[in-house]
């Protein structure tokens, strides 16, 4: 067949006839067919080369370009020739068809990464040719060519006049990109671009208006930067108002862009800011007209109510964006911050959790930048969020409370009541609530003393001399009380010394909660010191100095400016600080990049997942103390919470699955830990249980190690830590230790860690270093082949649970198995002794053809059979492949019916199977990607 086609091609070429379309079609089928030999393909290429000299018909050339593209992607070794051909004059200079030129260009760009095919003049002339599609393509891909920025600017600016909306959009996008590069300091150019962008804000098409908003923002900032100092304020105001005018657009995308942009304008004057939170035009803004550049006029009334509208927008995306933008703007004016807070407090009633979270996030931001002024009427609603069912929301609320400085005893009591209520409703928040109480206590020494006096009867030990401290509430008050001597207020005294001795009985829990402030020993020393005398001279008490100066979640650059490190005086209106913020934001307005502010609101999910990871880390001391049940309960709660994220967005499935897996591992670790670390003796059946747990842990670890791709080196290292711990746990118990295998695994893991360490230049954890060192010691005495459980136990003790930080979004390798229509009622037929066929519908997610997949079909442990799945034969992209696969099962038993268990496993490289169970099966350990599927078979009745 190949020969036949080739002959007909040769024939027509020999007769100097151009190739017919039919011939081209058969060439196409040759190119597509995977079994066409390489020699045929290269002769096809030759034929195409020759045919190019014969015909200049544009339709013909169009087909040739397509064929050349396909050909060179099909066989890479031919692509240089094909590319040369595409570059050659015959295709490139056919000026009569710019479309063709465009096609060959896009083919070239897709095949090579070189940029030298198009120079400035050629780019411009192609853009100016009548073909709209080529123009659009060129504008969109402009950065792929080596065209000077000044030329690009002219082209982009010119095409903002194009009658086709998508060309206008592409041109505006290009202008925004150029602006971000920021190489233009010509004031005229910036003004021209800004002017044009403002004109396009009134475009009839949504798709043009939203890039126009971005362009107005970008070039607006550019003109602000390039004008002289005294006009800057007015200009920035004008740009801001211009953007405010777009918040009432009918298109959600445009509104979203507008609010994103509002947050990026640097300095805005207070009058204008106040106008954005009032729908009525304020007196001072009436008849205020700005003329940012000649020919443009904008009235201050345009800004009226921008944020009011934004916060009650129908779409939660817009509301989020509005909340987020407020964060940067509240810094400029205390009055504005107050007004904005009124609106934000209302947002706590919003029906969307993410919006509530964003509103709280903004408040927290206001608190750190010293302009959160919560009033009594807000208090009720604000504290209500402590009862919210989402732990993320409660967490942020408490974070804000940590920074709070309350002016009245009443408010203070309300806060404490709120926190106690929180503790009562959600006991899992204990650690954080205690920590918050301690901070609040330090910030409000006198109020705390009043409060403790009121509740002192509750704190007294129960009647009969026995200490009845079993209520969390008491513990909470104790935490509050012991913070007093460390108060920032000078003359806050008066907590009875016995309270401190009561607190000692809670040492474990309290020190756990305050672990970020002081160690258990320090706390003990402090408590005993305080319990001895009622008047403590803290000047000679070293604790105060020993306290860490920075509170965990406060950005350090702000702390350095504030006198007291922990307390942020919320109620002081310090002119200097606000000036400081002014200048700070000034520079922010100037700089083109806002990495800090653009760290999107879109990774909310990752934020909350990281909160979970943090929580897990916080649990670890509990485990070490032996409170296994509490820890397990909390992990279970975390799991539930994570599971609830699944529905939120489809793209995040990987991150959620990863977190779940991580939690499962932690759970198993906790369970194993209980068995190993406690002094209590292992009961006989405990060994078996432990073995089961360890096996499960191994399996889970293998899964987390192999089923997620796209993790960073740091993240991988942390997983390695866990694997090493699992090995050590195994090694530290003689009863279950399978010494050699475990050692082998340990050393291979360590070497992998070393490899990662070298490659990514990330420091391995302290624990890992320790392990490596002692492993070396063991290695030197390896001849003896003695196990050293004590050494390993020591190593395990040195393990500290690090907080996992998820920064990438991992992809999840997953598979689904389905046998349509099969259940116990309608089984598949089989004839015993003859292989049965099982039609499986398989869906694979994120699996590339490099992975080795096996079907594991088992009737029982003894009769297990592996079938290899060759992914190269299966079409589909790497994200999702769905196909039907008929798997044979050879060992059909002599039975009327039986069931099979089928699952899909992936070979994990590097982990060789220590026991080869079946011939022809996988060589390495399998990670199972799908749950086991039960398949019912029944003896065929037909024969």
Partner 1 sequence: MAIDCLVLGAGQEVGKSCVVVSINGKRIMFDCGMHMGYTDSRRYPDFSLISKTGDFDNALTCVIITHFHLDHIGALPYFTEVCGYRGPIYMTYPTKALAPLMLEDYRKNMDRRGEDGQFTSDHITECMKKVIPVDLKQTVQVDKDLQIRAYYAGHVLGAAMFYAKVGDAAMVYTGDYNMTPDRHLGAAQIDRLQLDLLITESTYATTIRDSRYGREREFLKAVHNCVAAGGKVLIPTFALGRAQELCILLEDYWERMNLKVPIYFSSGLTIQANMYYKMLINWTSQKIKETYATHNAFDFKNVQNFDRSLINAPGPCVLFATPGMISGGFSLEVFMQWAPSEINLITLPGYCVAGTIGHKLMSGKPTKIDLDKDTQVDVRCQIHQLSFSPHTDAKGIMDLVKFLSPKHAILVHGEKPKMATLKERIQSELGIQCYCPANNDTVTIPTTHYVKADALDAFIKSCLNPNFKFSKSSSVDKSYSGSNDSKAIPGLQVSDERVAEGILVVEKGKKAKVIHQDELLHMLGENKHEVQFAYCFPMRTERLEKTRSEDLPSADDLLCGLDKCTLISLLSTKLSNELSDGNIQDLGEQLQVESFCLSICLKDNCPHRISDSVQNDSEVVFCCCSWSVADEMLAWKIISIMNNYTLPLEGRLQVHI
**Does 96 sit near partner 1 (CB under 8 A)?**
no
- Neighbouring residues of 575: CB distance < 8 A, sequence distance ≥ 6: none
| Distance in Å, CB of 357 to partner 1, minimum | 16
What is the rounded distance in angstroms from the CA atom of residue 670 to the CA atom of residue 629?
Answer: 9
| Distance in Å, CB of 636 to partner 1, minimum | 23
| Distance in Å, CB of 208 to partner 1, minimum | 11
**DSSP codes of every residue in 701-762:** HHHHHHSEES--HHHHHHHHHHHHHHHHHHHT-TTT--HHHHHHHHHHHHHHHHHHHHHHT-
**Does 157 sit near partner 1 (CB under 8 A)?**
yes
Which is nearer to partner 1, 103 or 313 (by Cβ)?
313
**DSSP codes of every residue in 459-496:** HSPPTTS------HHHHHHHHHHHTGGG-SSTT-----
Contact pick of 70, 119, 120, 162 for partner 1 (by CB under 8 A) = 162
Show the site string, 105-144: x = touches partner 1 by CB under 8 A, - = not: ----------------------xxxx----x---------
Which is nearer to partner 1, 278 or 624 (by Cβ)?
278
Which is nearer to partner 1, 421 or 710 (by Cβ)?
421
| Distance in Å, CB of 269 to partner 1, minimum | 22
- Neighbouring residues of 308: CB distance < 8 A, sequence distance ≥ 6: 276, 277, 278, 279, 343
**DSSP codes of every residue in 142-159:** GGGS---HHHHHHHHHHH
Strands 933-939 and 828-830: parallel
The DSSP H or E segment spanning 845 is strand 836-845
Q: Can you say whether the dihedral through the CA atoms of 355, 325, 333, 362 is positive or negative? A: positive
**Does 287 sit near partner 1 (CB under 8 A)?**
no
Show the site string, 42-81: x = touches partner 1 by CB under 8 A, - = not: ----------------------------------------
Which is nearer to partner 1, 168 or 667 (by Cβ)?
168
Residue 783 exposed, middle or buried by CB count within 10 Å (0-12, 13-18, 19+): exposed
| Distance in Å, CB of 161 to partner 1, minimum | 3
Contact pick of 41, 47, 67, 189 for partner 1 (by CB under 8 A) = 189
Which is nearer to partner 1, 162 or 802 (by Cβ)?
162
Contact pick of 121, 154, 467, 807 for partner 1 (by CB under 8 A) = 154
Which is nearer to partner 1, 195 or 502 (by Cβ)?
195
| Distance in Å, CB of 442 to partner 1, minimum | 32
What is the rounded distance in angstroms from the CA atom of residue 695 to the CA atom of residue 389?
Answer: 36
DSSP 3-state of 555: coil
- Neighbouring residues of 715: CB distance < 8 A, sequence distance ≥ 6: 804, 805, 806, 807, 808, 810
Residue 226 exposed, middle or buried by CB count within 10 Å (0-12, 13-18, 19+): middle
Among all chains, which residue has been given the structure tokens 């050909």? 71
| Distance in Å, CB of 322 to partner 1, minimum | 12
Residue range at the interface with partner 1 (CB under 8 A); choices 7-15, 309-317, 485-493, 657-665: 309-317
Residue 502 exposed, middle or buried by CB count within 10 Å (0-12, 13-18, 19+): buried
**Does 195 sit near partner 1 (CB under 8 A)?**
yes
Restricted to residues 310-329, the positions that interact with partner 1 (CB under 8 A) are 311-316
**Does 239 sit near partner 1 (CB under 8 A)?**
no
* Tokens read off for 247: 């918040």
Residues in the interface with partner 1 (CB under 8 A) total: 48
The alpha-helical segments, DSSP class H, found in 93-186 are: 98-111, 120-127, 132-140, 149-159, 165-181
Show the site string, 636-655: x = touches partner 1 by CB under 8 A, - = not: -----------x--------
Strands 836-845 and 864-869: unpaired
Restricted to residues 203-222, the positions that interact with partner 1 (CB under 8 A) are 204
Show the site string, 339-378: x = touches partner 1 by CB under 8 A, - = not: ----x--xx-x-xx--------------------------
Residue range at the interface with partner 1 (CB under 8 A); choices 288-296, 368-376, 898-906, 915-923: 288-296
Among all chains, which residue has been given the structure tokens 């939203």? 210
Strands 811-812 and 708-709: antiparallel
* Tokens read off for 52: 């190019």
**Does 862 sit near partner 1 (CB under 8 A)?**
no
Which is nearer to partner 1, 130 or 464 (by Cβ)?
130
Contact 488, 443 (CB under 8 A): yes
| Distance in Å, CB of 345 to partner 1, minimum | 9
Which is nearer to partner 1, 216 or 926 (by Cβ)?
216
Which is nearer to partner 1, 242 or 577 (by Cβ)?
242
Among all chains, which residue has been given the structure tokens 């990774």? 603
Which is nearer to partner 1, 33 or 129 (by Cβ)?
129
Which is nearer to partner 1, 159 or 658 (by Cβ)?
159
* Tokens read off for 642: 């994570």
With b for 16 or more beta-carbon neighbours within 10 A and e for fewer, the 718-743 pattern comes to bbbbbbbbbbbbbbbbeebbeeeebb
| Cα 705 to the center of its chain, rounded Å | 19
Contact 672, 725 (CB under 8 A): no
Residue range at the interface with partner 1 (CB under 8 A); choices 66-74, 306-314, 694-702, 883-891: 306-314
Classify residue 272 by its DSSP letter: H
| Distance in Å, CB of 213 to partner 1, minimum | 15
Which is nearer to partner 1, 189 or 510 (by Cβ)?
189
Residue range at the interface with partner 1 (CB under 8 A); choices 183-191, 469-477, 539-547, 773-781: 183-191
Contact 64, 19 (CB under 8 A): no
Contact 222, 240 (CB under 8 A): no
Contact 239, 217 (CB under 8 A): yes
Which is nearer to partner 1, 346 or 716 (by Cβ)?
346
DSSP 3-state of 915: coil
Contact pick of 148, 279, 286, 590 for partner 1 (by CB under 8 A) = 279
Bridge partners for 902 per DSSP: 857, 933
DSSP 3-state of 236: helix
Q: Which has the closest alpha carbon to 192: 223, 171, 166, 214?
A: 223
| Distance in Å, CB of 655 to partner 1, minimum | 21
**Does 305 sit near partner 1 (CB under 8 A)?**
yes
| Distance in Å, CB of 746 to partner 1, minimum | 46
* Tokens read off for 852: 């080795």
| Distance in Å, CB of 201 to partner 1, minimum | 11
Which is nearer to partner 1, 640 or 777 (by Cβ)?
640
| Distance in Å, CB of 226 to partner 1, minimum | 12
| Distance in Å, CB of 192 to partner 1, minimum | 3
Contact 738, 744 (CB under 8 A): no
What is the rounded distance in angstroms from the CA atom of residue 422 to the CA atom of residue 416?
Answer: 10
Contact pick of 26, 106, 191, 749 for partner 1 (by CB under 8 A) = 191
- Neighbouring residues of 117: CB distance < 8 A, sequence distance ≥ 6: 87, 105, 108, 145
Among all chains, which residue has been given the structure tokens 């004016």? 333
Which is nearer to partner 1, 252 or 737 (by Cβ)?
252
Which is nearer to partner 1, 154 or 913 (by Cβ)?
154
**Does 160 sit near partner 1 (CB under 8 A)?**
yes
Which is nearer to partner 1, 652 or 892 (by Cβ)?
652
**Does 812 sit near partner 1 (CB under 8 A)?**
no
In the complex, which residues of this chain contact partner 1 (CB under 8 A)? 127-130, 135, 154, 157-163, 187-189, 191-193, 195-196, 204, 248-250, 279-280, 293-296, 304-305, 308-309, 311-316, 343, 346-347, 349, 351-352, 647
């Amino acid at each position: 067949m190949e020969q036949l086609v080739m002959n007909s091609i040769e024939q027509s070429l020999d007769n100097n006839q151009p190739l017919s379309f039919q011939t081209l079609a058969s060439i196409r089928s040759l190119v597509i067919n995977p079994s066409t030999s390489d020699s045929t393909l290269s002769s096809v290429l030759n034929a195409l080369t020759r045919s190019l000299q014969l015909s200049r018909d544009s339709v013909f050339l169009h087909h040739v370009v397509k064929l050349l593209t396909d050909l060179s992607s099909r066989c890479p070794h031919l692509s240089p020739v094909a590319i040369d051909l595409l570059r050659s004059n015959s295709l490139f200079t056919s000026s009569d068809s710019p479309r063709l030129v465009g096609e060959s260009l896009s083919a070239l760009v897709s095949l090579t990464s070189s940029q030298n095919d198009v120079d400035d003049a050629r780019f411009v002339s192609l853009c100016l040719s009548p073909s709209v599609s080529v123009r659009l393509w060129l504008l969109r891909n402009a950065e792929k060519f080596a065209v000077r920025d000044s030329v690009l600017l002219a082209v982009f600016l010119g095409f903002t006049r194009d009658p086709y909306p998508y060309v206008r959009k592409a041109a505006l996008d290009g202008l925004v990109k150029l602006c971000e590069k920021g190489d233009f300091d010509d004031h005229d150019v910036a003004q021209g671009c800004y002017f044009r962008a403002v004109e396009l804000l009134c475009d009839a098409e949504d798709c043009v208006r939203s890039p126009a908003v971005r362009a107005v923002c970008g070039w607006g900032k550019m003109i602000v930067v390039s004008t002289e100092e005294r006009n800057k304020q007015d200009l920035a105001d004008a740009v801001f108002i211009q953007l405010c005018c777009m918040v009432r657009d009918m298109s959600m995308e445009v509104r979203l862009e507008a609010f994103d942009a509002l947050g990026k304008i640097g300095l805005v004057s207070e009058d204008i800011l106040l106008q954005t939170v009032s729908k009525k035009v304020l007196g001072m803004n009436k008849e205020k007209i700005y003329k940012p550049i000649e020919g443009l006029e904008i009235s201050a009334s345009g800004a009226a109510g921008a944020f009011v509208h934004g916060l009650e927008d129908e779409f939660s995306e817009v509301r989020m964006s509005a909340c987020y933008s407020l964060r940067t703007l509240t810094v400029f004016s205390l009055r504005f911050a107050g007004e904005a807070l009124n609106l934000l407090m209302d947002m706590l009633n919003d029906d969307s959790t993410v919006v509530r979270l964003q509103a709280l996030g903004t408040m927290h931001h206001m608190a750190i930048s010293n302009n959160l002024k919560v009033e009594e009427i807000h208090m009720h609603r604000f504290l209500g969020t402590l009862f919210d069912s989402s732990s993320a929301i409660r967490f942020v609320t408490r974070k804000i409370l940590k920074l709070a400085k309350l002016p009245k005893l009443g408010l203070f009591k309300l806060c404490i009541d709120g926190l106690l209520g929180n503790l009562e409703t959600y006991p899992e928040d204990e650690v954080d609530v205690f920590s918050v109480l301690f901070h609040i206590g330090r910030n409000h020494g006198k109020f705390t003393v009043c409060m403790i006096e009121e509740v002192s009867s509750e704190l007294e030990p129960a009647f009969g001399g026995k200490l009845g401290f079993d209520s969390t509430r008491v513990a909470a008050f104790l935490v509050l009380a012991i913070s007093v001597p460390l108060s920032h207020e000078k003359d806050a005294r008066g907590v009875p010394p016995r309270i401190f001795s009561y607190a000692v009985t809670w040492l474990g829990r309290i020190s756990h909660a305050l672990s970020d402030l002081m160690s258990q020993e320090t706390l003990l020393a402090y408590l005993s010191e305080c319990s001895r005398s009622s008047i403590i001279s803290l000047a000679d008490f070293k604790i105060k100095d020993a306290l860490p100066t920075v509170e965990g979640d406060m950005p350090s650059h702000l702390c350095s400016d504030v006198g007291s490190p922990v307390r942020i005086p919320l109620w002081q209106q310090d002119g200097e600080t606000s000036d400081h913020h002014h200048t700070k934001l000034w520079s922010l307005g100037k700089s083109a990049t806002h990495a800090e502010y653009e760290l999107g609101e879109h990774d909310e999910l990752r934020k909350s997942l990281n909160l979970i990871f943090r929580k897990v880390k916080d649990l670890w001391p509990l485990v070490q103390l032996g409170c296994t049940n509490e820890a397990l309960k909390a992990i279970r709660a975390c799991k539930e919470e994570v599971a609830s994220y699944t529905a939120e967005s489809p793209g995040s499935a990987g991150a959620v699955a990863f977190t779940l897996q991580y939690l499962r591992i932690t759970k198993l670790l906790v369970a194993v830990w209980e068995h190993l670390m406690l002094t209590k003796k292992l009961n006989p059946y405990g060994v078996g249980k432990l073995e089961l747990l360890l096996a499960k842990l191994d399996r889970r670890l293998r899964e987390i190690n192999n089923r997620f791709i796209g993790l960073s080196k740091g993240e991988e290292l942390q997983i390695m830590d866990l694997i090493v711990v699992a090995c050590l746990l195994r090694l530290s118990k003689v009863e279950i230790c399978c010494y050699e295998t475990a050692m082998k695994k340990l050393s291979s893991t360590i070497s992998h860690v070393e490899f990662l360490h070298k490659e990514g230049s990330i420091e391995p954890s302290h624990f890992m270093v320790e392990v490596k060192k002692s492993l070396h010691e063991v290695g030197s005495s390896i001849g003896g082949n003695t196990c050293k459980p004590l050494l390993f136990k020591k190593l395990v003790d040195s393990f500290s649970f690090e907080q996992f930080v998820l920064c990438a979004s991992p992809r999840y390798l997953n598979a689904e198995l389905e046998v349509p229509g099969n259940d116990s009622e309608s089984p598949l037929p089989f004839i015993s002794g003859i292989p049965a066929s099982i039609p499986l519908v398989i869906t694979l997610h994120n699996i590339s053809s490099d992975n080795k997949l096996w079907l594991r079909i088992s009737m029982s442990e003894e009769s297990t059979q592996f079938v290899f799945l060759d992914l190269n034969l299966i079409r589909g992209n790497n994200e999702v492949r769905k196909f039907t696969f008929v798997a044979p099962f050879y060992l059909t038993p002599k039975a009327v019916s039986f069931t099979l268990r089928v699952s899909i496993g992936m070979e994990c490289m590097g982990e060789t199977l220590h026991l080869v169970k079946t011939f022809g099966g996988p060589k390495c350990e399998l990670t199972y990607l799908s749950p086991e599927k039960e398949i019912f078979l029944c003896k065929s009745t037909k024969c």
